[in-house]
Structure 1
Amino acid sequence: MNDYVPPPEFMPSEAGWGCTFVGFEEREFTKRIAESVHGIIWALLEVGYDLSRLEGITVSARYAESLAELDRGFETSAPLAPTQEYGTGMAMAAPIVREGKIMSRLMLDASIGVALLSEIEQERSFGLCTAVHELAHVFDLANKDKAFPGVLLKPYPGPILEVEMFKLSSLAWDEYFTTEQSARLRPASLDDCDEVLETALDDLLARLAEARRAFFTHRDFGRVFREMSTTMQILLKFSAYVLGTLDGLGRGDEYGPKSGDKIRASRFQTTFDSLRQALRQMASTYPTWQGVEAFAPLRAVAQRALEAEGLHLAMTDDGQMNIWVLHPENFTPQQHMAASLGQPI
């Protein structure tokens, strides 16, 4: 029998254990879902997860509505919404602020709660893997807030180029870590995330190329930067899902079973391999990071990835950022000073 008791400072508060159910009528059913989620939380506490920043749990039959209505505790430009990139999101560890402290609320679509109680192993493992993945986000957010306090959910404290590359690349770490942590619970998750990358790869590379070509018609440096950085962010994130799952399954030197051939045959292979190295470098010192410089390897990958697509960035001596867009036919590069220090595009 395991008599291990997690340290009190790792435990969610009494409120953090609370489950709110939206759109459910049968009380006994919701009680079973809550017990299942609590069992997962307790198991993670026993292996050393700090879940003290878990503010609570919502399981909703109206998931999109519940996300939109969540009180974040800080000003945002738009309400939360399920991800819609090549699939619809069904779970999220939503960052919030309560009494000045960064917390997370676990938001689950009702289908995840139902899956946790399923008698079908494939469905139950999907629900378990999803819940652990999101609770790993809770753990990771707490660790980052300790490593660089006063930085998260605020303007990034650095030169404009670092700001933009952090914004572009940080999601890759988030998804690498959480998929690495949850992969062993459902090895089939590799097929799922790899299929997304394989499906999206050609489209995203085409979008990058088209944004670059379109620049030579509209000549808007802010627009081409936004379009290319947003697309590259998605591509790095989808790649990180696959890389994290491979590492979690002990298959770290491999490529995805479906996306691998496409990546090796594309101009993206160098970026993919560099991303793997950068994420492993960050993981080697996690969670004892000493500030935002822990993300320097990932920022460098993001900048080189844009350069490989024809968008070159450089800091000036006076703290501004220059953008060069290389013509697809290798004509004379266009150059423009597009943003100044402290004013992200």
Structure 2
Amino acid sequence: MDEEPVPPPSLPAGAAIELRGWHTEDTDVARLFANRLMALTSDYSRWLDLSRLSRIILSYDYRAALAEVQGVGGQPNIATSNEFGDGAAMAVLTEVDGELKSVLVVWTPLIVRMFDEEDSLEKRISVQSYVHELVHVDDQAFLDKTYPGGASAMRQRDERHGALLGIVAPAHAEFSATSRTANMEPTTGFEFVGLLKKAILDVIADVRLQRRLYRVGTLKLEGFWFWIEERCRFIFQSLGYALGHAHGILESDDADEEIKERYRAAVGEIEGMELGWLVSETRSALRPLALQAQWTGLEVFDPLIGVAERLLNTFGVFTRLENDVLYVDIPLTGWNDF
């Protein structure tokens, strides 16, 4: 029986690695790590579309490196950072000479164990974390190649649509990357599910506190909206991580049945919580995005935006468009609500 031919690498010949600093003074070891990483990236590019990847930046000062990369439209790139944790890698879509390119920025300690001689949990997580970011690059290429007019042609319908889209988009991005890398280390998803559980539990009390501050005038409307927008975005990002990893394991023929049952139980526990409806509704809303053969427009996000609207309404926050301007209404309620 003939074996299927191995596809050629999609990684551009001009793609480069920038290694900023190393944990030892041995430059030969650092250079070897960079060379091996480039070889591994090229190998993965046979199955992932990395044709848009132009640079890989490894840095011990992740925030500074990320801030130097200008995203499409001049948007600042800010690492995720809150009481739940800090981001350590990001695939940034940039524009170079009129063409869209991806730049991968990684905090070096996140992947430094990738080429350890001995197998270990740390090594598997390092590889999984890196390939997770490569999947983001693959998704960015898919978006740019199939969206009508290319990714640069994406336009929000109005200011309200853009705000809600910004809240829910991380759910799709992380669901895709996490589901496709789940089997590289099946157990990492339990941390994602635990993070989602904590984020949902904490937001209920935190919203009550922020609404109380708004009620007494300590917090202005703009400040409250900024806070609730960021918190909801993080919840949807956490939903993407947790549901994506669980989906990847539950749909795998190779995953251990005991691991699968643990994921069913862990996700089921969240479904039984006060905001547990988020699980089933987000999962259903992500389905059209996960199954699309090509991008046809941003309307595919509408079901997910509907979930975000329900969440905001649950928190007593209502958005509307008036004269093409986003208005946020937070009706004052009785003290018993707090």
Provide the TM-score with structure 2 as the length reference. 0.83
Give yes or no for contact 2:56–2:104 (8 Å, CA) kept in 1.
yes
Give yes or no for contact 1:201–1:235 (8 Å, CA) kept in 2.
yes
After superposition, the Cα gap between the structure-2 partners of 1:72 and 1:323, relative to the gap in structure 1 and judged at 3 Å, is: closer
**SS of equivalent to 1:46:** coil
* Counterpart position of 2:291: 284
* Counterpart position of 2:7: 5
What is the alpha-carbon distance in structure 2 between the residues aligned to residue 292 and residue 209 of structure 1? 33
After superposition, the Cα gap between the structure-2 partners of 1:146 and 1:293, relative to the gap in structure 1 and judged at 3 Å, is: farther
Unaligned runs of 5+ in 1: 332-345
**SS of equivalent to 1:115:** coil
* Counterpart position of 1:59: 58
Which moves more between the two structures, 321-330 or 110-119? 321-330
Matched, 1:181 2:180: yes
What is the alpha-carbon distance in structure 2 between the residues aligned to residue 322 and residue 107 of structure 1? 35
Matched, 1:304 2:304: no
Give the partner amino acid of 1:273. Answer: S
After superposition, the Cα gap between the structure-2 partners of 1:154 and 1:122, relative to the gap in structure 1 and judged at 3 Å, is: same
Deviations 1:298-325 (A, max 9, x none): 1111111111221123345x54545432
* Counterpart position of 2:129: 130
* Counterpart position of 1:231: 231
Matched, 1:313 2:323: no
* Counterpart position of 2:299: 293
Deviations 1:102-139 (A, max 9, x none): 21112222223421012242111111100110011111
Give yes or no for contact 1:213–1:327 (8 Å, CA) kept in 2.
no
* Counterpart position of 1:265: 273
* Counterpart position of 1:28: 28
Matched, 1:117 2:122: no
1:324 to 322, 329, 332: 329
Number of residue pairs aligned between Structure 1 and Structure 2:
322
Q: Quote how far apart the aligned CAs of 1:239 are.
A: 1.5
* Correspondences of 1:49-198 after superposition (within 5 Å): 49-70=48-69, 72=71, 75-76=74-75, 78=76, 80-81=78-79, 83-118=81-116, 119-148=118-147, 156-198=155-197
Give yes or no for contact 1:36–1:116 (8 Å, CA) kept in 2.
no
**Percent identity of equivalent pairs:** 23
Give yes or no for contact 2:11–2:42 (8 Å, CA) kept in 1.
no
Deviations 1:189-208 (A, max 9, x none): 11221222233332222222
Deviations 1:19-61 (A, max 9, x none): 21111343432343234423442343333x2111101112223
Q: Quote how far apart the aligned CAs of 1:237 are.
A: 1.0
Give yes or no for contact 1:198–1:258 (8 Å, CA) kept in 2.
no
Give yes or no for contact 1:207–1:231 (8 Å, CA) kept in 2.
no
Give yes or no for contact 1:147–1:291 (8 Å, CA) kept in 2.
no
Provide the TM-score with structure 1 as the length reference. 0.81
* Counterpart position of 1:275: 282
**SS of equivalent to 1:13:** coil
Give the partner amino acid of 1:20. Answer: E
Q: Quote how far apart the aligned CAs of 1:72 are.
A: 4.9
Give yes or no for contact 2:143–2:150 (8 Å, CA) kept in 1.
no
Q: Quote how far apart the aligned CAs of 1:227 are.
A: 2.2
* Counterpart position of 1:19: 17
Unaligned runs of 5+ in 2: 252-259
Matched, 1:247 2:247: yes
What is the alpha-carbon distance in structure 1 between the residues aligned to residue 273 and residue 119 of structure 2? 39
* Counterpart position of 2:199: 200
What is the alpha-carbon distance in structure 2 between the residues aligned to residue 112 and residue 226 of structure 1? 30
What is the alpha-carbon distance in structure 2 between the residues aligned to residue 109 and residue 65 of structure 1? 10
Give yes or no for contact 1:194–1:256 (8 Å, CA) kept in 2.
no
**SS of equivalent to 2:250:** coil
Give the partner amino acid of 1:46. Answer: R
What is the alpha-carbon distance in structure 2 between the residues aligned to residue 2 and residue 59 of structure 1? 35
Q: Quote how far apart the aligned CAs of 1:92 are.
A: 1.8
Give yes or no for contact 2:50–2:137 (8 Å, CA) kept in 1.
yes
Give the partner amino acid of 2:210. Answer: A
What is the alpha-carbon distance in structure 1 between the residues aligned to residue 50 and residue 97 of structure 2? 17
